[in-house]
Structure 1
Amino acid sequence: MRSSLAPVLIALLTVSAAAPAHADTRYFSYNATDRITQALTKGITLQVRRGLFGTISVERLFSTTARGSADFTRGGPDAARRVLPEGARETDLYGIEQVGDGRGLARALCPGADEVWLVMSRIRAPRPLTMQAVGRWSDGAYRHCVTLSYEWRGEWQTAPVSPFEDAGS
């Protein structure tokens, strides 16, 4: 029995090594579903990376209706999750990079905070998305800032183009 299992294992290893290890980038677009979300972000498109085993991580956020984008860093302090409102189910934590438009997004979501994180629900097409913005202030306290709610709009093949960009750029 042992000798007959070896060729099968070798064949499986050969096939799995020959199959391309494929992770890909996708663009998921969402529309704001409430007045608070619409006032802060209107529509968004997320650049996500789908890993080898189907895990999805968010790399960047694009404003769908205006110029702007922000880069994210996966992970952050567990204290950011502990200040979420009662009943919040979001668990995926991302830091907003404080460069370029990321600084403006962080200030809009958590005015006065030194650092800002988004705690997101699991990203799955075509499902709604909820984000909780959490900030850390100079006194070291973490505070929940706002809940953002979105409905699925669609998936794009490439990054969105701002309607405000110059045609000659």
Structure 2
Amino acid sequence: MRRFILTLSLAASALGATALPAAAEVRFLAFDAADRTTQALTRGVTLEVERGWFGATTVKNLFSSTSRGSARFVSGGPDQVRRVLPKDAAEGGIYAIAPEGDGRALGRALCPGSDESWIVVGRVRAGRPLTLQAVGRWADGQFRRCVALNYVYRGEWSTQPGAGPARDAPAAYGPN
């Protein structure tokens, strides 16, 4: 009986491991700047969001909605990022802005003079406003809050077959 339970449990684990990648859903959600500060820095953005089990979301990439710029995000960051934010803004996922491509320029625009930069992304949901908090680390090792970017939901992009963020900019997609 023990052997049967062990075999059943291993089979269930293997089945679950193969089902996980298929459960992820990638969406491209567009947002417009909600205030003057946000408009001056980014205007509008499209986020590539991966939604997994139980509705958990991960932001993979950011695309400029008004130009050809894009930046890749890497999930995670030091706890000091949250510590410099106001209490109501510290909720959400921390993402490092990857320095390759346009990421370095985005980091410099959001946190001028910083060596590294992160964003804390509130809950990303279609139809809802979104706030991104930018935090930087300077050469002296200090973490500082740089800016809050506020957006209103604009819509969702649909991808063409075979299209992807590495090959095409969001401008190649059509809104739903």
Q: Could you tell me which amino acid in structure 2 is paired with residue 69 of structure 1?
A: S
Match of 1:96 in 2: 97
**C-alpha displacement at 1:34, in angstroms?**
0.2
TM-score normalised by structure 2 residue count = 0.78
Q: Could you tell me which amino acid in structure 2 is paired with residue 95 of structure 1?
A: A
CA contact (8 A) 1:81 1:91 kept: no
Unaligned stretches of 5+ in structure 2? 160-164
**C-alpha displacement at 1:86, in angstroms?**
4.8
Q: Could you tell me which amino acid in structure 2 is paired with residue 111 of structure 1?
A: P
Match of 1:52 in 2: 53
CA contact (8 A) 1:90 1:130 kept: no
State, as a whole percentage, how many aligned pairs show the same letter. Answer: 56
Instruction: Identify which range, 79-88 or 55-64, moves more after superposition.
Output: 79-88
Match of 1:148 in 2: 149
* Structure with max Cα Rg: 1
Instruction: Identify which range, 93-102 or 82-91, moves more after superposition.
Output: 82-91
Q: Could you tell me which amino acid in structure 2 is paired with residue 161 of structure 1?
A: A
Higher normalized contact order (CA 8 Å, seq sep 6+, divided by chain length): 1
Taking the aligned partners of 1:78 and 1:147, their CA distance within structure 2 comes to 18
**C-alpha displacement at 1:55, in angstroms?**
1.1
Match of 2:129 in 1: 128
Q: How many residues align?
A: 151
**C-alpha displacement at 1:131, in angstroms?**
0.6
**C-alpha displacement at 1:89, in angstroms?**
4.6
**C-alpha displacement at 1:156, in angstroms?**
1.1
Q: Could you tell me which amino acid in structure 2 is paired with residue 150 of structure 1?
A: Y
Residue 142 of structure 2 corresponds to residue 161 of structure 1: no
**C-alpha displacement at 1:124, in angstroms?**
1.2
Match of 1:84 in 2: 85
**C-alpha displacement at 1:19, in angstroms?**
7.2
Taking the aligned partners of 1:90 and 1:63, their CA distance within structure 2 comes to 24
Match of 2:68 in 1: 67
SS of the counterpart of 1:144?
strand
Match of 1:36 in 2: 37
Taking the aligned partners of 1:19 and 1:96, their CA distance within structure 2 comes to 30
Please state which structure has a larger fraction of its residues in helix.
Answer: 2
Instruction: Identify which range, 109-118 or 44-53, moves more after superposition.
Output: 44-53
Q: Deviations 1:22-49 (Å, cap 9, x if unpaired)? A: 2121100000000000000000000011
CA contact (8 A) 2:32 2:43 kept: yes
Unaligned stretches of 5+ in structure 1? 1-5, 163-169
Q: Deviations 1:31-88 (Å, cap 9, x if unpaired)? A: 0000000000000000011113321100000000012000000010010010013532
- Post-superposition, which runs of at least 4 consecutive aligned residues in structure 1 deviate over 3 A? 16-21
Taking the aligned partners of 1:155 and 1:89, their CA distance within structure 2 comes to 26
Q: Could you tell me which amino acid in structure 1 is paired with residue 60 of structure 2?
A: E
Taking the aligned partners of 1:133 and 1:93, their CA distance within structure 2 comes to 10
CA contact (8 A) 1:61 1:69 kept: yes
Taking the aligned partners of 1:86 and 1:22, their CA distance within structure 2 comes to 33
